[in-house]
Structure 1
Amino acid sequence: MPQLSLHSPLGPLTLSEEDGKIISLDWGWGRDQTETPLLCKARDWLDQWFDDPALMGAFPFPLEPYGTAYQQKVWAFLQTIPVGTTITYGELAQKAGGSPQSIGQAVGRNPIPILIPCHRVLARNGLGGYSGDGGVNDKVWLLELEGAPLPTQA
């Protein structure tokens, strides 16, 4: 599977591709580096996104994260959350179906963070968690980069 890494403000990130689609974005530098057309475009898009996410909009290249049908449904809803806005796990549960807990589990298993913007989902009474290497600090940094209002931690 082709992989390509990039330097980001959050540290090194690695994109993985399969069958012409992005299947994961992982923290850390990948062992193998393959410059496919898709991975190069995705890397360049991310570089620009980190400069100004409001100008970039939604990720324009094909994504195919591995997951259950329910996870796929939740991840599809995540992709509709505009840059600079947030939604709670409960609000997402009302839209996608399920409970806030099942939404939290699906969000936490998102294999393509940032591109599928799980950082835009908040707990009812604060930030909630984040699975990036920097944890909640990465979530706060991403939300601040996007200009999203931060909740007060309860």
Structure 2
Amino acid sequence: MSLAADLIAELTARNLSVAVAESLTGGLLVAELVAIPGASLVVRGGVVAYATDLKHSLLGVSAELLAAEGPVHPEVARQMAMGVRRMLSNDGTPADIGLATTGVAGPGPRDGHPEGEAYVAIAIGDRAEVLHLHISGTRDDIRKRVVSESLSELAKLLHLG
């Protein structure tokens, strides 16, 4: 079984929902989850907020934060994870878990951040954990590794394995 399959099974067993906000990974993370049969029971959906302004308008990330720090910042990731929980709510009830990715896939640095720098945030309830990553490789390698690190971090927080 894959890690995504294990996560879908665990979320289903616990009756927990997950909502995904992606920038750097551009939809790869939610695609990994929804590739698993039965994912529709727990995956609320995904938002690809690739453009910086969408992080504010769709996910509620502070415009002041984005102006001061840009999109590659731990607090941006945290606010994306919290925002997607609210945005993809069920009749006003936020998703149980918000999962967000932001960073620089390359090629090359962007806005003072090196290629391969990324943040993954997982929001559960009122708290959010943020993982800071430095990944080397091609653009595709970086994006795929952020997906796998996101799933691994969620598994840790759910105490799987």
TM norm structure 1: 0.27
Identify the structure with the greater strand proportion: 2
Q: Which is bigger in relative contact order (C-alpha 8 A, separation at least 6)?
A: 2
TM norm structure 2: 0.27
